[in-house]
């Protein structure tokens, strides 16, 4: 009951013309930042932080979380329309979203991604409001051994992603993991594989690698296959999902949202792992697993619901403990501090208007995102109708400026280009590139937690802690099963 | 008439120029940039922004904050030292930068920087979790004796100030413990709340906002005003730990003209005495102490010595290559090795191209590339210090040991099964053309700047793909320029390069 009165108060803070205006502005900026390859949610938030220093703390937070939420959805727009995920977590959305566009059904992908994002965002926020204190207690108890096991579990989704090319998929993942070790070792502080270059001290940045592997290599591939010689898409015929389509996805969306929120609460895990795992689970429990990767609506829904709901999860440790769970929430902490507010449990007692105002604005921002997205989708879909001869050079231009904007460095542009060419060569020979991104994202979590766990105990620690043991067994099963099934079906095919 | 006019003009010119030399000191004439070595939102970023805010009370000057993250500040310091010493660039700096300078062997930075003003210091302290049984200093000491080296301390990165402070505490008190580093102080505090260790080293500000955290001991000469119940180390009977602190300050490049230096000294003194400034920081248990150049430089040199001592001790710096493999993996030998590998790779490529398998050239060369990359990384991993239970070479080698067999398997697979979908070499030429164009574009951004090169690139790109409506092409190129100028350059302050050649002429 107390929560209801608090929430009512929260809404009363937010339902003024000024906060609403800020939410709308934030959502628009977030969608644009997310759609722009190179501007990730955390960068979108970070770039706006300086502007918020002059605002009241509540308004500043409202603006920043609106951007944060919308940017997570925005990433899926370019993932669906041009196979250039705007954010790392939208990589998974492109697996099925882009095939839909190729089948001349971009509206289906955009519609499902928007609605699943919104529902995911709602579920994540509601779990945050109801259970944040209890969840925070679980989050801090999560031992390094368990983080490691979670990362390994995330890596085994590669087996599902790879399908018949699982060896190549694993090679790509291992390559991602290996290049992730370039730079200063996060545990001991010594520099590794930097060849004495300052540019490599922090390793390769994720964003330029992501842009190169997806956006650039996709365009190279399209040019290679001569797909730029016009083929007009009849926009009027673009199909949009019906209520019935959404209703069929209800279980997938709810399951993925809950998983996304739970994975989001562990500091450092975040949206990308959440969407990979949710996609994997959705494929396994689907009635039509063969459709995944070829335009399955369930695949789009799982990925988007998971990455949007992880926002609510990531706010759990931030609000209850003052500990950032992701890059974007780290920026939010700074924004609170400049306003002389110390994030942590005392914030609930000292400044309830901020906390409940934040909760209310999260719910409203999701709603605003849905409304703006419904109108916007009619616009985004036009991207697919731009003549390819104009579109492709523009994608290059966007990619270059996007990879430069990460650290203002020429090295990053060159790295983006290098990943683009390499990605194109790999894709020509049936190596999937998504596992490389997964490897880069998971490498650090896997390595640091593996070593922390061993430093705290010894090598047996992974098997003596029950949660880590269960996760590792699950990982083994999920790794072995698709491969076994594949080799069996291969044999069958050969016999026929 | 003409003559008088000329004389008149000359006198005017003379006087105005005289006036100029009289008023020569009119600093600043343009905004002053403060370089911050982290992204927006960190403590040092807030320090810089708060400083800019308070400083505006005392000067007309405008301050622009430029975030230049990377390599723990090395990227930002490099930028400072590249720019002229004209007082228009300040660098917001912390003690961590000194640690980074020491660990990356960049002594030149210490000498090249004019250590202008130290503005504040936060004493280091040992933080514990109240609900855990072991939470006072006495408990920690007793527990350490029982666990004999297995007690766990948590904190941020190895070799940083907090780690070095912990090492010093262990030295002075004679206890043994393990340091488990986390990506950030916040993540380490989360682990403390999860009772994964007994102590955390950080600054007093970090216990604010969370009643479950407490300070067990603080390393300052006197008790902190904001935490009157917290004992100092000397009160606990431990000597040598009454002055460990994290400092933050602002520095210029060495060689800044003396009158500009004076202008800054006055400004820093004013900000230091400002009531709003002091109150904002002191509430968080941070000492607002202004130290001018002379004292600050001494502190920095002392810090440097201490970091050098401890970083050597834990093996981050000056680890001499001892065995044969480590010698191959460093310096010139490594360069030679990499070149050798490239040559071998090319020879294999050439051989395959001449063999009946030439249709499979790239398909065969890809696994070979991965295998050779793994071997190079494997050799380099011998140069890492290996004095820990799980050193820096363990995990890369794990990935390598999985990567190599997978690729060998794939090689066999290629030779075993012959049928795979064949790619037609349709438009490879245009793709190569585009890759060349992109490389040219990158080079030209460097020399003639972002805007001109981008215009040419977009126009040329569309042309190559066979589009010929020139008006549309012009509109699109211009439209993109306008968009990137307004959104990236103006709104988001992304410093799009103007170009070396252009800079030279203007």
pLDDT tens sequence across A270-281: 788 899 999 999
On the question of pLDDT at A446 being above 80, the answer is yes
Select from B70, B190, B381 the Cβ nearest to the Cβ of A202: B70
pLDDT of residue B328: 72
Q: Which percentage of chain A shows pLDDT scores above 70?
A: 94
Residues 6+ apart with CB under 8 A from B333: B327
On the question of pLDDT at B106 being above 80, the answer is no
CB contact under 8 A, A168 and B410: yes
What average pLDDT is seen over chain A?
Answer: 86
pLDDT of residue B506: 63
On the question of pLDDT at A483 being above 50, the answer is yes
On the question of pLDDT at B321 being above 70, the answer is no
**Shortest Cα distance, chain A CAs vs residue B3, angstroms:** 57
Which of the residue ranges A316-330, B99-113, B398-412 has the most confident prediction, judged by mean pLDDT?
A: B398-412
CATH topology of domain B125-243: D-Maltodextrin-Binding Protein; domain 2 (3.40.190)
Select from A189, A224, A332 the Cβ nearest to the Cβ of B427: A224
Mutate one of B54, B187, B204, B209 to test the A interface: name it (highest A CB count within 10 A).
B209
On the question of pLDDT at A42 being above 80, the answer is no
A positions 247-266 inside 8 Å of B (CB): none
pLDDT of residue B12: 58
- Residue A237 pLDDT class (50, 70, 90 cuts): low
A453-467: buried (b, 16+ CB within 10 Å) or exposed (e) per residue?
Answer: bbbbbeeebbeebee
Select from B103, B190, B439 the Cβ nearest to the Cβ of A323: B190
pLDDT of residue B203: 86
Half-sphere exposure for A329 (CA within 13 Å, toward CB): 28
CB contact under 8 A, A178 and B211: no
- Residue B198 pLDDT class (50, 70, 90 cuts): very high
User: In which residue are the tokens 């269960």 written?
Assistant: A470
Q: Is B189 in contact with B201 (CB distance < 8 Å)? A: no
Contacts of A185 in chain B (CB under 8 A): 384, 392
Q: Give ipTM to 2 decimals.
A: 0.87
Which of A297-306, A391-400, B16-25, B344-353 shows the lowest per-residue confidence on average (mean pLDDT)? Answer: B16-25
Give chain A's count of helices (H) and strands (E): 23, 2
More confident residue, A483 or A436: A436
Which of A194-198, A371-375, B407-411 shows the lowest per-residue confidence on average (mean pLDDT)? Answer: A194-198
CATH topology of domain B32-120+246-313: D-Maltodextrin-Binding Protein; domain 2 (3.40.190)
CB contact under 8 A, B49 and A344: no
Total structural domains within chain A: 1
pLDDT of residue B421: 54
Average confidence (pLDDT) over B241-261: 90
On the question of pLDDT at A178 being above 60, the answer is yes
Residues 6+ apart with CB under 8 A from A486: A163, A164, A166
Average confidence (pLDDT) over A2-28: 87
Q: Is the peptide bond before A228 cis (omega within 30 degrees of 0)?
A: no
On the question of pLDDT at B419 being above 70, the answer is no
Mutate one of A187, A219, A396, A440 to test the B interface: name it (highest B CB count within 10 A).
A187
Q: Is A392 in contact with A223 (CB distance < 8 Å)? A: yes
**Shortest Cα distance, chain A CAs vs residue B213, angstroms:** 10
Q: Is A106 in contact with A384 (CB distance < 8 Å)? A: yes
B positions 338-357 inside 8 Å of A (CB): 338
CB contact under 8 A, B363 and A331: no
DSSP 8-state secondary structure symbol assigned to residue A88: G
B positions 34-93 inside 8 Å of A (CB): 39-43, 45-46, 49-50, 53, 65, 67-72, 74-75, 78
Mutate one of B56, B75, B156, B186 to test the A interface: name it (highest A CB count within 10 A).
B186
On the question of pLDDT at A2 being above 90, the answer is no
pLDDT of residue B210: 80
Contacts of A188 in chain B (CB under 8 A): 158-159, 314-316, 384-385, 388, 391-392
Average confidence (pLDDT) over B24-48: 82
Q: How many CB pairs (< 8 A) connect A and B?
A: 290
Average confidence (pLDDT) over B241-246: 86
On the question of pLDDT at A215 being above 80, the answer is yes
On the question of pLDDT at A367 being above 80, the answer is yes
The 10s digit of each residue's pLDDT in A85-108 is 888 888 999 999 999 988 888 899
CB contact under 8 A, A174 and B413: no
Which residues are bridge partners to B202 per DSSP?
B125
pLDDT of residue A314: 87
Average confidence (pLDDT) over A106-123: 94
Average confidence (pLDDT) over B226-236: 90
On the question of pLDDT at A494 being above 90, the answer is no
pLDDT of residue A341: 77
- From B390, which residue of chain A is nearest by alpha-carbon distance? A451
Q: The dihedral of CA A477, A480, A482, A485: what is its sign?
A: negative
pLDDT of residue B21: 47
On the question of pLDDT at B100 being above 70, the answer is yes
- Residue B19 pLDDT class (50, 70, 90 cuts): very low
A positions 317-346 inside 8 Å of B (CB): 317, 321-324, 330-335, 337-338, 340, 342-346
Contacts of A49 in chain B (CB under 8 A): 40-41
Q: The dihedral of CA B350, B352, B358, B360: what is its sign?
A: negative
- Residue B401 pLDDT class (50, 70, 90 cuts): very high
Residues 6+ apart with CB under 8 A from A326: A42, A264, A267, A268, A270, A271, A314
pLDDT of residue A479: 81
pLDDT of residue B169: 92
**Chain A CB within 8 Å of residue B159 CB:** yes
The 10s digit of each residue's pLDDT in A53-94 is 777 888 888 888 898 889 889 989 999 988 888 888 889 999
Mutate one of B390, B398, B440 to test the A interface: name it (highest A CB count within 10 A).
B390
Pick the closest to residue B95 from B69, B67, B123, B65 (CA basis).
B123
**Chain A CB within 8 Å of residue B408 CB:** no
Q: How far apart are CA B181 and CA B70, in angstroms?
A: 19
pTM: 0.86
SS3 category, B319: coil
Q: How far apart are CA A288 and CA A355, in angstroms?
A: 42
pLDDT of residue B239: 84
pLDDT of residue A113: 95
Alpha carbon distances (Å) from B414 to B335, B363, B364, B410 = 32, 8, 7, 6
On the question of pLDDT at A334 being above 80, the answer is no
Residue A96 structural domain? 2-495
pLDDT of residue B264: 92
On the question of pLDDT at B11 being above 70, the answer is no
CB contact under 8 A, B46 and A334: yes
More confident residue, B209 or A423: A423
SS3 category, B225: coil
CB contact under 8 A, A417 and B438: yes
The 10s digit of each residue's pLDDT in B380-392 is 988 887 767 788 8
- Residue B24 pLDDT class (50, 70, 90 cuts): low
- Residue B20 pLDDT class (50, 70, 90 cuts): very low
Locate A297 and state its tokens: 């609506």
**Shortest Cα distance, chain B CAs vs residue A103, angstroms:** 21
Contacts of B465 in chain A (CB under 8 A): 223, 228, 388-389, 392-393
DSSP 8-state secondary structure symbol assigned to residue B147: H
Average confidence (pLDDT) over B233-258: 89
Select from A193, A393, A429 the Cβ nearest to the Cβ of B462: A393
A positions 446-475 inside 8 Å of B (CB): 446-448, 450-452, 454-456, 458
DSSP A295-356: --HHHHHHHHHHHHHHHHHHHHHHHHHS--SSHHHHHHHHHHHHTT---STHHHHH-HHHHH
Note the residue count of chain B: 506
pLDDT of residue A174: 95
On the 0-12 / 13-18 / 19+ scale of CB atoms within 10 A, B146 is: exposed
Mutate one of B96, B392, B446 to test the A interface: name it (highest A CB count within 10 A).
B392
Average confidence (pLDDT) over A368-396: 88
B395-425: buried (b, 16+ CB within 10 Å) or exposed (e) per residue?
Answer: bbbbbbebbbebbeebbeeeeeeeeeeeeee
- From B45, which residue of chain A is nearest by alpha-carbon distance? A334
On the question of pLDDT at B78 being above 70, the answer is yes
DSSP 8-state secondary structure symbol assigned to residue A465: S
Pick the closest to residue A295 from A81, A159, A85, A95 (CA basis).
A95
Note the residue count of chain A: 496
């Amino acid at each position: 009951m107390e929560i209801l009165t608090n929430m009512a108060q929260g809404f009363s803070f937010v339902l003024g013309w000024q906060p609403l205006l800020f939410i709308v502005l934030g959502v628009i900026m977030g969608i644009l930042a997310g759609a722009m390859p190179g501007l990730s949610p955390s960068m979108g938030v970070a770039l706006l932080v300086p502007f918020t220093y002059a605002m009241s703390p509540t308004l500043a937070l409202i603006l920043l979380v609106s951007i944060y939420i919308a940017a997570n959805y925005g990433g899926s727009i370019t993932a669906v329309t041009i196979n250039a995920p705007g954010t790392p977590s939208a990589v998974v959305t492109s697996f099925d979203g882009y095939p839909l566009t190729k089948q001349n059904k971009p509206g289906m992908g955009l519609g499902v991604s928007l609605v699943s994002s919104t529902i995911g965002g709602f579920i994540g926020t509601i779990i945050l409001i109801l259970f944040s204190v209890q969840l925070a207690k679980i989050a801090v108890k999560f031992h390094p051994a368990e983080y490691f096991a979670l990362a390994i579990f995330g890596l085994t989704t590669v087996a599902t992603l790879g399908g018949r090319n699982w060896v190549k998929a694993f090679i790509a993942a291992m390559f991602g993991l290996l290049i992730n070790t370039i730079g200063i070792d996060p545990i001991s502080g010594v520099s590794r594989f930097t060849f004495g270059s300052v540019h490599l001290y922090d390793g390769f940045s994720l964003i330029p690698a992501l842009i190169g592997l997806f956006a650039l290599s996709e365009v190279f591939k399209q040019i290679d296959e001569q797909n730029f010689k016009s083929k007009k898409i009849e926009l009027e015929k673009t199909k949009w999902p019906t209520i019935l389509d959404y209703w069929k996805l209800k279980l997938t969306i709810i399951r993925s949202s809950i998983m996304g929120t739970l994975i989001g609460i562990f500091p450092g895990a975040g949206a990308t792992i959440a969407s990979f795992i949710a996609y994997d689970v959705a494929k396994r429990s689907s009635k039509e697993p063969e459709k995944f990767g070829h335009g399955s609506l369930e695949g789009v829904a799982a990925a988007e619901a998971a990455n949007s709901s992880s926002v609510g999860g990531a706010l759990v440790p931030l609000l209850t403990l003052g500990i950032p769970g992701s890059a974007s929430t780290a920026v939010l902490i700074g924004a609170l501090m400049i306003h002389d507010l110390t994030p942590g449990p005392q914030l609930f007692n000292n400044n309830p208007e901020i906390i409940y105002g934040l909760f209310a604005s999260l719910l409203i921002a999701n709603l605003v995102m849905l409304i703006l997205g419904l109108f916007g989708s009619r616009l985004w879909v036009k991207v697919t109708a731009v003549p390819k001869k104009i579109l492709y050079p523009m994608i290059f231009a966007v990619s270059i400026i996007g990879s430069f904007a990460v650290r203002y460095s020429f090295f990053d542009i060159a790295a983006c280009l290098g990943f683009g060419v390499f990605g194109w060569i790999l894709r020509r020979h049936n190596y999937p590139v998504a596992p490389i991104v997964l490897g880069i994202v998971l490498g650090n979590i896997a390595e640091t937690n593996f070593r922390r766990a061993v430093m705290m105990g010894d090598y047996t620690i992974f098997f003596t802690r029950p949660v880590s043991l269960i996760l590792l067994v699950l990982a083994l099963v999920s790794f072995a099963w698709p491969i076994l099934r594949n080799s069996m079906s291969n044999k069958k095919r050969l016999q026929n | 008439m003409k003559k008088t006019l000329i004389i008149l003009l000359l006198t005017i010119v003379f006087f105005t120029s005289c006036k100029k030399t009289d008023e020569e000191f009119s600093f600043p004439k343009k905004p002053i940039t403060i370089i911050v070595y982290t992204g927006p939102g960190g403590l040092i970023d807030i320090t810089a922004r708060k400083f800019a805010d308070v400083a505006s009370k005392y000067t007309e000057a405008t301050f622009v904050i430029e975030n230049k993250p990377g390599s723990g500040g090395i990227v930002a310091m490099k930028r400072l030292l590249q720019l002229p010493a004209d007082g228009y660039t300040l660098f917001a700096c912390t003690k961590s930068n000194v640690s980074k300078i020491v660990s990356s062997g960049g002594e030149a930075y210490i000498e090249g920087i004019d250590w202008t003003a130290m503005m504040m210091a936060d004493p280091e302290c040992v933080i514990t979790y109240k609900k855990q049984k072991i939470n006072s200093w006495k408990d920690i000491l007793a527990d350490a004796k029982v666990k004999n080296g297995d007690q766990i301390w948590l904190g941020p990165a190895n070799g940083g100030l907090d780690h070095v402070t912990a090492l010093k505490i262990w030295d002075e008190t004679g206890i043994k413990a393990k340091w488990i580093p986390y990506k950030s102080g916040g993540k380490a505090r989360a682990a403390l709340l999860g009772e994964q260790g007994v102590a955390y080293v950080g600054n007093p500000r970090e216990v604010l906002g969370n009643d479950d955290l407490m300070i067990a001991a603080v390393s300052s000469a006197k008790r902190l005003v904001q935490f009157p119940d917290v004992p100092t180390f000397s009160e606990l009977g431990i000597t040598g730990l009454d002055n460990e602190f994290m400092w933050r300050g602002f520095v210029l490049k060495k060689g800044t003209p003396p009158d500009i230096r004076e202008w800054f000294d006055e400004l820093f003194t004013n900000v230091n005495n400002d009531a709003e400034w002091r109150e904002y920081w002191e509430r968080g248990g941070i000492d607002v102490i202004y130290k001018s150049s002379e004292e600050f430089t001494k502190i920095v040199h002392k810090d440097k010595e201490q970091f050098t001592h401890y970083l050597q001790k834990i093996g981050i710096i000056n680890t001499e290559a001892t065995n044969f493999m480590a010698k191959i993996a460093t310096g010139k030998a490594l360069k030679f090795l990499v070149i050798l590998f490239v040559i071998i790779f090319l020879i294999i490529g050439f051989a395959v191209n001449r063999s009946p398998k030439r249709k499979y050239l790239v398909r065969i060369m890809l696994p070979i590339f991965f295998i050779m990359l793994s071997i190079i990384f494997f050799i380099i991993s011998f140069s890492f210090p290996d004095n820990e239970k799980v050193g820096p070479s363990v995990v890369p080698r794990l990935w390598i040991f999985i990567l190599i067999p997978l690729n060998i398997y794939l090689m066999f697979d290629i030779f075993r099964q012959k049928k795979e979908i064949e790619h037609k070499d349709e438009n490879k030429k245009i793709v190569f053309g585009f890759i060349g164009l992109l490389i040219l574009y990158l080079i030209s951004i460097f020399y003639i700047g972002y805007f001109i090169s981008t215009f040419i690139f977009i126009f040329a790109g569309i042309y190559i793909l066979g589009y010929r409506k020139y008006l549309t092409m012009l509109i699109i190129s211009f439209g993109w320029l306008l968009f990137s100028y307004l959104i990236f350059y103006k709104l988001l302050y992304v410093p799009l390069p103007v170009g070396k050649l252009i800079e030279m002429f203007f």
